[in-house]
Amino acid sequence: MPAIRPSADLRNKYNEISDFCHKNEEPVFITKNGKGDLAVLSIETYEKFCGRAELYRLLEEGLEAEKAGDVYPVEEVFDGILKELNG
């Protein structure tokens, strides 16, 4: 169940919100005048979300390349990587 708090709690109960975000690894939704306004989450959780979004983007890019026939044998790819690494 999402945690929903009024905006005044950011000022008055910051440590409580911070502890919740770190412990539960999920956002706290902040309301302003009774309506949704912000989502607050720990930096670690934010970085996980960003990493997951980047992974999905790369997977989608790979699937589109495959559909377009822009693929290479895995041996060829690894040989190219090894050549770059070895100079």
**Number of continuous H segments (helices) and E segments (strands) in the chain:** 4, 3
**Contact call for residues 28 and 3 (beta carbons, < 8 A):** yes
Q: Which two tokens stand for residue 28?
A: 């706290």
Reported as a single tens digit per residue, the pLDDT across 27-80 is: 999 999 999 999 999 999 999 999 999 999 999 999 999 999 998 889 999 999
40 with 18: CB under 8 angstroms?
Answer: no
Euclidean distance between CA atoms 39 and 10, whole angstroms: 11
Element (H, E) at 32: strand 28-32
Q: Does the global pTM surpass 0.85?
A: no
Q: Confirm if 30 and 9 have CB atoms less than 8 A apart.
A: yes
